[in-house]
Amino acid sequence: MSYLNMKDEKLIPVVVELNTLLANYHIYYQKLRNFHWNVLGENFFDLHSKFEVLYTDARTKIDEIAERVLTLRYHPISKLKDYLEISEIKETSPLQEDKDMVLEIISDHKILLAQMSNVIKKAEMADDEGTVDLIGGYIRELEKSSWMLDAWTKKSTEKLNQSMIES
């Protein structure tokens, strides 16, 4: 007997997208750990701390995504080989300049956000409000982190869009 009011055939696409997001998050997590360990230069203290905040958050999300798959009554993928094969986020050298590390993370955020959008679309089709709610919060948080990292890469003389939006 199912405690869910959803049909398995509608949930399978949701689980596939969640497992892809899980794989992306695992590679992203390890990349952040590598950057945390290997960052050098005048921005060391800021980035060492920021990468730790980001990988701690990613670790939590990995657990929550896997638990959501289990809640939907499926098994999350869990082998490193599968993560590397499925993930759109790719491994990279941790031996990079600090700004390149940040740009790499922003690029990974684009991939994560696109995959989250895929999850939301499939979850809406399955009337899976729990997944929509979970991933919607992730999107908001990741967009904010992306904005902050992007702001870090800018020169202080750069400006945002100066046009005013009037109602």
Domain that includes residue 120, residue range: 8-152
Q: Which residues contact 34 (CB under 8 A, 6 or more apart)?
A: 94
The structural domain count of the chain equals: 1
Q: What is the pTM of this model?
A: 0.93
Please report, in tens digits, the pLDDT of each residue of the chain (167 residues total).
467 777 778 899 999 999 999 999 999 999 999 999 999 999 999 999 999 999 999 999 999 999 999 999 999 999 999 999 999 999 999 999 999 999 999 999 999 999 999 999 999 999 999 999 999 999 999 999 999 999 999 988 877 777 777 76
Q: For residue 2, is it within any domain?
A: no
Q: Which amino acid would we find at residue 108?
A: D
Three-class DSSP category at 61: helix
Q: Return d(Cα 19, Cα 75) in angstroms, integer.
A: 9
CATH number at residue 124: 1.20.1260.10
Q: For residue 162, is it within any domain?
A: no
Q: For residue 166, is it within any domain?
A: no
Q: Return d(Cα 19, Cα 36) in angstroms, integer.
A: 26
Q: Which residues contact 91 (CB under 8 A, 6 or more apart)?
A: 27, 30, 31, 84
Q: For residue 116, is it within any domain?
A: yes
Q: For residue 77, is it within any domain?
A: yes
Neighbours of 92 (CB within 10 A): 16
Q: Return d(Cα 78, Cα 135) in angstroms, integer.
A: 20
